[in-house]
Structure 1
Amino acid sequence: MFSKSLTRITLLALAMVASCMLFYDEGFAGFAPDWQWQRGYQPQQPAIIMHDQRLSSFQNGVLLTGISDAINIQITDLDRKTYVYSYDRSLQIDLLADDAPALLNLQITPDKQVIRAALESRTGRSSGRYAFRDRALVPVSHIITEQDGQLRVSARYIGVVAEQQCDTRGHCLIVFGKTPYAKDAVFYSADGGRHWQWLPKWQAPEADGTYQILGITGPQSLLLVQQGKLYRSDDLGQHWQVALDMAPLLAEKGIDPSLYTSHWRYNGYHNLVIWHEVNRDEDDVSPHFLLTDFNLQSSSIQSNQWGEGSIIAAESSPQGDFYFVLAQEPRQRYTLNQLQTDGTLKPRLQTGKKALTKLYTGNKLFMIAKQVNDPAHMTVSLDNGQSWFRMKKLPNSYEETVLFDSWHNRLFRFPRQSYHYPKLGNDAGLVYETVVVE
């Protein structure tokens, strides 16, 4: 009898432990499916090692960019007394070959010999305590498009990508950072990145200060934010007009613009949102945010309202809807919310204390990364938030780069470190895998 009682107590204790684990960690609720990555090509050409990949999605394709080093470093000797390396530096990418993708620098400096001499000046034998660098010696940006179901390098630029945007129809813009060979350079494509045109008359609205390109609103029209002002250009950056100045609006709400960061997001159509996270008064310990919805067609504020909590993530869907992940007090309640036309936020998913982080929005698709209670999984919906299920989390960002194609509900995966790359890529030397989320 004592044995039976002990057994019952033991089973009850195990049930209580299991219940706690189920409540605090969804990972014990069963096995979540993993991502089924596919390599849609046969390995053919030596792999191009890239990093800092970016992706812009549009209706008929994607525009990707990634950076490689034009210089290969081969260690030839190491003096173990002084720990000084001897090494050879050689060109590993022939940027000026007759069959190479278009080199956009030639639109700025047409003389190939000038560029060749600049490249060769970085080669030869050398020595030092550090043979390898964190940054590329000669960074080369690969501009990549999708053709016949395969990724192809359509063009290259000696320099790094600072900004890139595409509109829904595939009008694309890339701003390259400063290099030893050229000043800031901006290029425009009207066909999804296959052909590029240098914009020599591009100029920022204000001479000083950084800027952020929000989006492309038409074949010649751009949106850019600088110093808290929204600017619009209808001639690809030659001239700019102020469309919205946030400073007076913030002053009306008692907000000093110099004390708070502005966050801007364009939905690809006729609206953009701006939000500021502030404390409304000295005694306010709960975070609040001011969310502004600006209509580009009417050039007017559609809504300008306070919200309670912190905005953890914000995205817009291909259809132009805005979604926000909020963490709200008390007790850090996490929700996914859709912005309504009247400025209110409509909850689409409530997870309680289960923390939500990064948000992906596609065609009737939501994917939300989680942490704390269930960091090994993601919450996914394929029916615009009507039902939800779990998937394994995306690969570790230290090992792989995963980019989301929102128009086609696809994920692209790239190796992140050189030692993760195979010897061969596709017929353009590109190494990647994809999965369609369905």
Structure 2
Amino acid sequence: MKINSFQDGALLIEPKKLYPDDYDYENNIIDYHQYLSPPSPLLLNLQIEEQREKLIRGTNDALSYMNSKSMSRIMRVDTNGELQVKALWLGSIETHSCSANGKCYFVGSSPFWGDSTTSVWYSANGGDNWQQLKNWTFPAENSLSEIHLWKIVKAEDNGQIWLADDVTLYSSTDQGRHWQRRVDTAAFLKRNGIHPHYTEEGNPLSQLNWLIDNQQHIVADVEVLVRYDDGLRERRFLYLLNGKYPDEMLGADINAAALSADGNIFFTQRGENYARYGLYRLQDNGMPEQVLEHIDRLSSIKIGLNSWFIGKGSGDAFHWYVSYDQGEQWRRMRPLSDEAIFDNWHDRFLKFSAHSQSETYWTTDYR
């Protein structure tokens, strides 16, 4: 289950297996027959002519063409906790994002064999209604990228969209018609001694993610395989790429990084006192501010509109700590299960039953 939270609710995308691995075509055992036979009007694939023709031939005939084995439910939960299925996508949803006021996008792949196309969908009202962006084009291929796994990094209320492949960051202000490359990634990696692909020498890049705050600070979250005498060890760095100085390193021993509901970047790393760890917030001037110091390693962080949830990597690794006054007071809380999803705009967790349909859930705010 994946979530994008915004002011008036949250968008949830739930991929489910369309049929079991040992699917029996003769007995027509299918979990989602009610959506495919006949095709449901909620199914967005019906708006694409080539896919609609295959779907209307009948469930079994359509499945014989299919490469994908999943159906994604696109759901909205409002501020009162009411959950509704708003749309369906047959196939995988590779990436999605919503702005603060509920302008949402997702990229869906075709479910059919021989069709490698993707389509981009837009909702202006938090997922209630969807339209295909037929004029969307992805940026031209980048020679640094061996594969293109597109990720919508951020959607903004002003219409600007931030998009990345495995190494390069782009932005568009016209819903994907034209793109601007925002970072010279090759030069950035070279300056910092990082190779974009695995090599037998040097320090290869493991993963690159991007964080963009409400001040348009561009932060590269870089995981690198650093070569030591005794072998490779993974380390995580944060770089501010458009600050006062080029490639300004914010941290070299990062445990976690997150964007808060109101658009601030938080991260955890060792503090100035090397024996302690700190929670930091990137200020408007591009400088990190330490907002919490702790003797134990700080691991996962979840930053809501009015709440901070901090996990500890040692000492008390089985509990989280929560503050509702920006770190002045903390209290210990019971462990979160893996099924709990954080809705950061509304400072609550959504927990879904693992043994029922997704409409069965409850919310917890821990206050």
Q: Give the TM interval when normalised to the shorter protein.
A: 0.7 to 0.9
Is 1:67 the equivalent of 2:15? yes
Paired position in structure 2 for 1:273? 219
Paired position in structure 2 for 1:143? 74
Q: Distance in 1 between matches of 2:349 and 2:10?
A: 11
Q: Which moved more, 1:141-150 or 1:152-161?
A: 141-150
Other structure's SS at 1:89 match: coil
Q: Distance in 2 between matches of 1:159 and 1:286?
A: 36
- Name the amino acid aligned to 2:100: T
Q: Pick from 178, 183, 199: which aligns with 1:244?
A: 183
Is the contact made by 1:250 and 1:257 (CA closer than 8 Å) also made in structure 2?
yes
Larger RCO: Structure 1 or Structure 2 (Cα < 8 Å, ≥ 6 residues apart)?
1
The count of corresponding residues between Structure 1 and Structure 2 is 347
Q: Pick from 232, 239, 259: which aligns with 1:292?
A: 239
Is 1:315 the equivalent of 2:258? yes
Is 1:172 the equivalent of 2:104? yes
1:172-251 alignment, distance < 5 Å = 172-180=104-112, 183-207=117-141, 209-218=148-157, 220-226=159-165, 228-251=167-190
Is 1:432 the equivalent of 2:361? yes
**CA positional deviation for 1:265:** 1.2
1:24-423 alignment, distance < 5 Å = 53-71=1-19, 89-90=29-30, 92-95=32-35, 100=40, 102-109=42-49, 114-117=54-57, 119-121=59-61, 138-147=69-78, 149-180=81-112, 183-207=117-141, 209-218=148-157, 220-226=159-165, 228-258=167-197, 259-260=204-205, 261-267=207-213, 270-276=216-222, 291-294=238-241, 300-303=242-245, 304-307=247-250, 309-327=252-270, 333-352=276-295, 354-395=296-337, 397=338, 401-416=339-354, 420-421=355-356
Q: Distance in 2 between matches of 1:116 and 1:372?
A: 55
Query: Closer, same or farther in 2 for the Cα pair 1:436/1:205, shift >3 Å?
Result: same
Task: Provide the TM-score with structure 2 as the length reference.
Answer: 0.81
Other structure's SS at 2:34 match: coil
Q: Distance in 1 between matches of 2:194 and 2:281?
A: 25
Is the contact made by 1:309 and 1:328 (CA closer than 8 Å) also made in structure 2?
no
- Name the amino acid aligned to 1:56: N
Q: Distance in 2 between matches of 1:113 and 1:280?
A: 51
Superposition RMSD in Å: 3.6
Query: Closer, same or farther in 2 for the Cα pair 1:243/1:293, shift >3 Å?
Result: same
Is the contact made by 1:369 and 1:393 (CA closer than 8 Å) also made in structure 2?
no
For the pair shown, which has the larger CA radius of gyration, 1 or 2?
1
Is the contact made by 1:289 and 1:306 (CA closer than 8 Å) also made in structure 2?
no
Q: Distance in 2 between matches of 1:391 and 1:204?
A: 44
Other structure's SS at 2:352 match: strand
Q: Distance in 1 between matches of 2:120 and 2:29?
A: 30
- Name the amino acid aligned to 2:218: L
**CA positional deviation for 1:321:** 1.8
Gaps (5+ residues) in structure 2?
142-146, 198-203
**CA positional deviation for 1:201:** 3.0
Is the contact made by 2:151 and 2:165 (CA closer than 8 Å) also made in structure 1?
yes
- Name the amino acid aligned to 1:292: Y
- Name the amino acid aligned to 1:415: S
- Name the amino acid aligned to 2:187: P
- Name the amino acid aligned to 1:140: M
**CA positional deviation for 1:349:** 1.9
Other structure's SS at 2:243 match: strand
